Amino acid sequence: MAKLIIEGKKRLSGEVRIGGSKNSSVALIPAALLGEGPSTLDNVPLIRDVQVFAQILKDLGASVTLDRNTMTVAPNGFSSHVAPYDLVRKLRASYYLMGVLLAKFGKAEVGLPGGCDIGPRPIDQHLKGFRALGAEVTVEGGVVKLFAKKLTGAPVYLDIPSVGATINIMLAASLAEGTTVIENAAKEPHVVDLANFLNAMGGRVLGAGTDVIRIKGVKRLHGAPHSVIPDDMEAATYMMAAVATGGDVEVKGVITKHLEPVTAKLKEAGAVIEQNGDYIRVIGPERPNPVNVKTLPYPGFPTDAQQPLVAVLARSTGVSVVQESMYDNRLGYVSELIKMGAKIKVEGRTAIVEGVPRLVGAPVTTNDLRAGASLVVAGLSAEGTTEIYGLEIIDRGYELIEEKLSAIGAKVFRVEN
Ligand code: EPU
């Protein structure tokens, strides 16, 4: 198991450039299989989830090359509608293969996905969408089997604005006959990014970014070039790190609009924020103010930024109440922050964070990506040395984390074991 060692209490300053979005990339990469020719995705982040997805596509017969941050996906040779569990267990987003394989071959067999340990993550809304489009759906022995003689556009009302279900239904509907209307659709930036890519491939997707998305199926899609949007959650994590260390960091290459819920909370916490065009400068206070927050679908405060925010609030000057509304088990990392001296009480899905003047480095372990981000932020602001076990999990979603942090003044080292 690799670990990250942080010698904390260094005030971060300087510039950090944000990479492409993980959650966009893991939708765009399988979407490229829908084209009849090669697609080129630019600004792809060098993270483990991307590498794993590239490997899954290769194992399915597609040709994939990655040259620095540019990935080319050529679907010729891709002929299997079966994605075995051994492949898909490695990342949650492998469920997007269901929509893609169903659209492309009229059938799919995809093992139920793995991913972070943050509580039950059902896919009933995805399956409801496939059924509405005319697919037969069975789940047997941990494998989802989908079959459709023909996919036909249909209205789908989502019970919750699920990102995964919205994207999966868009993928399946892109080559269906007729128009699919997704109501109560997710509005996250990566939903819009996928719609833009599908449209560049010759698709007809309207309304992405609102809660009603219309997908008019087309007979064929072609390959297209596309640039992945910046990763708002990577940006949010560096913004939190700046605040936690009382630093002064320019987070560059972002879409500031996507970060508004995070920016607003950090201002409340006492950070001074300057933004213009594609950068956000964050100047952290000596100690943050307490703030209350509830995670919500976009444009609410993102669940993926909840964990790093709690690490910031652990050193605040008062009591904060943080409510996690998306996942049952996304506060498990709190026990690790407590090892570092944080005073946090968890009641159900709520964390009551009583700020303390200092955190102290400790050996800690992460079993989920954003929990890892929380421990990094805590370690940067803590006195002494923090050892974070489970660095592979952080590598799933953070590109070159130790290089980027070192460049803004952190003392961090990777130890491979
Ligand atoms: N849900 C259902 N049924 C469904 C689908 C979702 O009950 O069929 C529930 C989930 O259990 C959860 C809520 O709806 O309680 C939201 O789930 P959603 O489908 O929106 O999330 P997701 O697609 O599984 C994506 C991101 C997550 C991020 C969430 C919320 C990807 C690959 N993952 O997950 O990212 O937390 O949206 O914004 O896009 C991360 O990056 O660390 C991460 C976990």
**What are the tens digits of pLDDT across the range 171-227?**
999 999 999 999 999 999 999 999 999 999 999 999 999 999 999 999 999 999 999
Query: Ligand 1 center to residue 296 CA distance, Å?
Result: 11
**Is the separation of the CB atoms in 164 and 124 below 8 Å?**
no
Q: What is the pLDDT of residue 120?
A: 65
Indicate whether 100 pLDDT > 80.
yes
- C-alpha span between 13 and 375 (Å, rounded): 19
Q: Residue with the nearest Cα to atom 2 of ligand 1?
A: 122
Q: Which atom of ligand 1 is nearest to the CA of 126?
A: 8
Look up 91 and say whether it is catalytic.
Answer: no
Q: Are 146 and 218 found together in one domain?
A: yes
Same domain? 13 vs 63 = no
Question: How many whole angstroms separate alpha carbon 193 and alpha carbon 209?
Answer: 9
Choose one of 173, 207, 227: the last residue of a domain: 227
User: Which of 96, 156, 162 to mutate for ligand 1's pocket (most ligand atoms within 8 Å of CB)?
Assistant: 162
- Which strands make up the sheet holding 70-74, listed edge to edge? 63-67, 70-74, 39-42, 225-227
Do residue 150 and residue 81 come from a single domain? yes
161 and 196 share one domain: yes
What digits encode the pLDDT tens for the residues 246-267? 999 999 999 999 999 999 999 9
Q: How confident is the model at residue 115 (pLDDT cuts 50, 70, 90)?
A: low
Same domain, yes or no: 262 and 277 = yes
Among candidate residues 192, 227, 262, the one where a domain is terminated: 227
pLDDT band at 87 (very low <50, low <70, confident <90, very high): confident
CA-nearest residue, atom 35 of ligand 1: 304
Q: Which CATH number belongs to the domain containing residue 131 in this structure?
A: 3.65.10.10
Q: Whose CA is nearest to atom 29 of ligand 1?
A: 163
User: What backbone torsions phi and psi does residue 64 show, to the nearest 5 degrees?
Assistant: -130, 130
Pairing, β 385-389 against β 411-415: unpaired
Q: How far is the CA of 303 from the centre of ligand 1 (A)?
A: 9
Q: Are 417 and 1 within 8 A, CB to CB?
A: yes
Q: Which atom of ligand 1 is nearest to the CA of 116?
A: 44
- pLDDT class for 77, splitting at 50, 70, 90? confident
Query: Ligand 1 mean position to 196 CA, how many Å?
Result: 21
What number of other Cβ atoms are within 10 A of residue 86's Cβ?
10
Q: Nearest Cα to 118, choosing from 389, 332, 395, 372?
A: 332
Query: Whole-angstrom Cα distance, residue 224 to residue 33?
Result: 11
- Say whether both 34 and 178 belong to one domain: yes
Q: Tell me, in angstroms, the distance from the centre of ligand 1 to residue 358's CA.
A: 33
b/e 41-76 (16+ beta carbons within 10 angstroms → b) = bebbbebbbbebbbebbeebebebeeeebebbbbbe
Q: Is residue 301 domain-shared with residue 317, that is, in the same domain?
A: yes
State whether 289 and 366 are in the same domain. yes
For residue 189, count other CB atoms closer than 10 A to its CB.
Answer: 22
120 and 88 in a single domain? The answer is yes
Query: pLDDT tens, 134-184?
Result: 999 999 888 999 999 999 999 999 999 999 999 999 999 999 999 999 999
- Cα dihedral 416, 235, 347, 338, rounded to 10, equals 40
pLDDT band of residue 274 (cuts 50, 70, 90) is: very high
Q: How much is the mean pLDDT over the chain?
A: 95
Please answer whether residues 175 and 13 qualify as being in contact, where contact means their C-beta atoms are separated by less than 8 angstroms.
no
CA dihedral of 116, 129, 158, 92, whole degrees rounded to 10: 10
Residue 92 labelled as part of a binding site: yes
Binding residue per annotation — 233? Answer: no
State which of 326, 328, 330, 349 you would mutate to test the pocket of ligand 1, scoring each by most atoms of that ligand within 8 A of its C-beta.
Answer: 326
Tell me what the mean pLDDT of segment 309-313 comes to.
98
- Which residue range forms the structural domain that includes residue 46? 22-227
Decide: 375 and 387 in contact? Cβ < 8 Å: no
> What pLDDT digit, counting tens, does each position of 12-64 carry?
999 999 999 999 999 999 999 999 999 999 999 999 999 999 999 998 899 99
Label residue 415 by pLDDT band (50, 70, 90).
very high
**Of ligand 1's atoms, which has the minimum distance to the CA of residue 233?**
41
Higher pLDDT, 37 or 78: 37
pLDDT at residue 84 tops 80? no
**Residue among 90, 127, 163 whose CB has most ligand 1 atoms within 8 A, to mutate:** 163
Helix H, strand E, coil C: the string for the chain is CCEEEEECCCCCEEEEECCECHHHHHHHHHHHHHECCCEEEECCCCCHHHHHHHHHHHHCCCEEEEECCEEEEECCCCCCCEECHHHHCCCHHHHHHHHHHHHHHCEEEEECCCCCCCCCCCCHHHHHHHHHCCCEEEEECCEEEEECCCCECCEEECCCCCHHHHHHHHHHHCCCECEEEEECCCCCHHHHHHHHHHHHCCCEEECECECEEEEECCCCECCCEEECCECHHHHHHHHHHHHHCCCEEEEECCCHHHHHHHHHHHHHCCCEEEEECCEEEEECCCCCCCCCEEECCCCCECHHHHHHHHHHHCCCCCEEEEECCCCCCCCCCHHHHHHCCCEEEEECCEEEEECCCCCECCEEECCCHHHHHHHHHHHHHCECEEEEECHHHHHCCCCCHHHHHHHCCCEEEEECC
- The total number of structural domains that make up the chain: 2
Closest residue by Cα to atom 18, ligand 1, is 162
Q: Which of 388, 246, 402 is nearest to 312 (CA)?
A: 246
Q: How many angstroms is it from 314 CA to the middle of ligand 1?
A: 26
Tokens of 361: 């480095």
Residue 128 scores a pLDDT above 90: yes
Which residue in the list 116, 137, 382, 410 is annotated as catalytic? 116
Chain center to CA of 35: 24
The dihedral built from the CA positions of residue 287, 12, 403 and 46, taken in this order, carries a sign that is positive
pLDDT score of 118 = 58
Which residue has the least CA distance to atom 5 on ligand 1? 123
Find the mean pLDDT for residues 323-338: 94
Contact residues of ligand 1, CB 6 A cut-off:
23, 26, 92-93, 116, 121-126, 160, 162-165, 186, 233, 302-304, 326-327, 369-370, 397
Residue 122 in marked binding region: yes
Q: Are residues 181 and 306 in the same domain?
A: no
Q: Which pLDDT value is given to residue 76?
A: 86
Quick one: 13 and 158 in the same domain?
no
pTM of the model: 0.96
**Could you tell me what percent of the chain has a pLDDT over 90?**
90
- What is the share, in percent, of the chain residues with pLDDT greater than 70? 98
Q: What is the pLDDT of residue 116?
A: 55
My answer on whether omega of the bond before 45 falls inside 30° of 0, hence cis, is no
For residues 101 and 90, membership in a common domain is answered with yes
From ligand 1's centre to the CA of 162, what distance in Å?
Answer: 6
The residue among 171, 205, 227 that closes a domain is: 227
CA 98/CA 373 separation, integer angstroms:
30
